[in-house]
Structure 1
Amino acid sequence: MGGGGHLTEAGEPGSGRAGGVYTWEEVQSHCNRNDQWLVIDRKVYNITQWAKRHPGGSRVISHYAGEDASEAFTAFHPNIKYVQKFSETPVHWRVGSNRAKSGPGQKRGHHKRFSTLYVLQAGWLQHDFGHLSVFKKSSWNHVLHKFSIGHLKGASANWWNHRHFQHHAKPNIFSKDPDVNMLHVFVVGATQPVEYGIKKIKYMPYHYQHQYFFLVGPPATHSNLLPRADHTHHDFTPRLGGPGLVLSYYLRYLCCSIPMFGLFGSVLLITFVRFLESHWFVWVTQMNHLPMDIDHDKHRDWPLHLKATCNIKQSPFNDWFSGHLNFQIEHHLFPTMPRHNYHRVAPLVRALCEKHGIPYNVKTMWQGIVDVFRSLKNSGDLWLDAYLHK
Structure 2
Amino acid sequence: WLVIHRKVYDISHFCRRHPGGARLLVSHAGQDATDAFVAFHADKVLVSKYLNPLQIGELAPDQPSVEPTKNEKLVEDFRELRATVERMGLLEPNQLFFFLLLAHILLLDTAAWLVLFYFGTSFLPFVFSLLLLTISQVQAAWLQHDLGHLSVFRKTKWNHLLHKFVMCHLIGASAKWWTLLHSQHHAKPNCFHKDPDIDMHPFLFTLGKKFSVEVKKQITCANCLVSTLLFFFFFLFYFHSLASKRKNTCPTTTNTNTSSL
- Superposition TM-score, scaled by structure 1 size: 0.40
User: Given the alignment, which residue of 157, 160, 165 partners 1:147?
Assistant: 165
User: Given the alignment, which residue of 69, 93, 115 partners 1:110?
Assistant: 93
1:98 alignment partner in structure 2: 65
Q: Alpha carbons of 1:175 and 1:197: their partners in 2 closer, same or farther (altered >3 Å)?
A: closer
- Is 1:149–1:157's contact at 8 Å kept on the other side of the alignment? yes
Distance 1:58 1:40 in 2: 17
- Is 2:7–2:58's contact at 8 Å kept on the other side of the alignment? yes
Deviation string, structure 1 residues 206-230 (Cα, Å, up to 9, x no partner): xxxxxxxxxx9xxx9xxxxxxxxxx
Identity %: 41
Distance 1:59 1:126 in 2: 23
Unaligned stretches of 5+ residues in structure 2: 67-71, 107-135, 236-245, 247-261
Secondary structure of the structure 1 residue equivalent to 2:197: helix
2:18 partner amino acid = H
Please state if 1:69 is matched with 2:87: no
- Is 1:39–1:67's contact at 8 Å kept on the other side of the alignment? yes
Distance 1:54 1:193 in 2: 29
Distance 1:173 1:118 in 2: 34
- Is 1:128–1:134's contact at 8 Å kept on the other side of the alignment? yes
Please state if 1:133 is matched with 2:151: yes
Distance 2:93 2:2 in 1: 32
- Is 2:10–2:56's contact at 8 Å kept on the other side of the alignment? no
Deviation string, structure 1 residues 316-355 (Cα, Å, up to 9, x no partner): xxxxxxxxxxxxxxxxxxxxxxxxxxxxxxxxxxxxxxxx
Distance 1:81 1:61 in 2: 19
Aligned residue pairs, count: 172
Deviation at 1:46, TM superposition (A): 0.8
2:221 partner amino acid = K
- Is 2:93–2:152's contact at 8 Å kept on the other side of the alignment? yes
- Is 2:150–2:156's contact at 8 Å kept on the other side of the alignment? yes
- Is 1:186–1:204's contact at 8 Å kept on the other side of the alignment? no
1:124 alignment partner in structure 2: 142
Please state if 1:58 is matched with 2:58: no
- Is 1:39–1:68's contact at 8 Å kept on the other side of the alignment? yes
User: Given the alignment, which residue of 75, 78, 87 partners 2:51?
Assistant: 87
Distance 1:195 1:94 in 2: 32
Please state if 1:162 is matched with 2:137: no
Deviation at 1:81, TM superposition (A): 2.1
Q: Alpha carbons of 1:175 and 1:194: their partners in 2 closer, same or farther (altered >3 Å)?
A: closer
Deviation at 1:182, TM superposition (A): 1.7
Secondary structure of the structure 2 residue equivalent to 1:44: strand
Aligned runs of 1:349-364 on 2, under 5 Å? none
Deviation at 1:91, TM superposition (A): 4.5
Distance 2:163 2:105 in 1: 13
1:78 alignment partner in structure 2: 42
- Is 2:2–2:11's contact at 8 Å kept on the other side of the alignment? yes
Q: Alpha carbons of 1:199 and 1:137: their partners in 2 closer, same or farther (altered >3 Å)?
A: same
Distance 1:193 1:41 in 2: 32
- Higher relative CO (Cα under 8 Å, sequence separation at least 6) belongs to 1
Q: Alpha carbons of 1:198 and 1:82: their partners in 2 closer, same or farther (altered >3 Å)?
A: closer
Q: Which one has a larger percent helix, Structure 1 or Structure 2?
A: 2
Q: Alpha carbons of 1:151 and 1:92: their partners in 2 closer, same or farther (altered >3 Å)?
A: same
- Is 1:180–1:188's contact at 8 Å kept on the other side of the alignment? no
- Is 1:118–1:124's contact at 8 Å kept on the other side of the alignment? no
- Is 1:118–1:125's contact at 8 Å kept on the other side of the alignment? no
- Superposition TM-score, scaled by structure 2 size: 0.58
Distance 2:50 2:57 in 1: 16
Q: Alpha carbons of 1:184 and 1:97: their partners in 2 closer, same or farther (altered >3 Å)?
A: closer
- Is 1:130–1:161's contact at 8 Å kept on the other side of the alignment? yes
1:102 partner amino acid = D
- Is 2:202–2:215's contact at 8 Å kept on the other side of the alignment? no
- Is 1:163–1:178's contact at 8 Å kept on the other side of the alignment? yes
Q: Alpha carbons of 1:122 and 1:194: their partners in 2 closer, same or farther (altered >3 Å)?
A: same
Secondary structure of the structure 1 residue equivalent to 2:3: strand
Who wins on radius of gyration, i.e. which is larger?
2
Unaligned stretches of 5+ residues in structure 1: 1-36, 206-215, 221-263, 265-390
1:94 partner amino acid = L
Deviation at 1:60, TM superposition (A): 0.9
Deviation at 1:122, TM superposition (A): 0.7
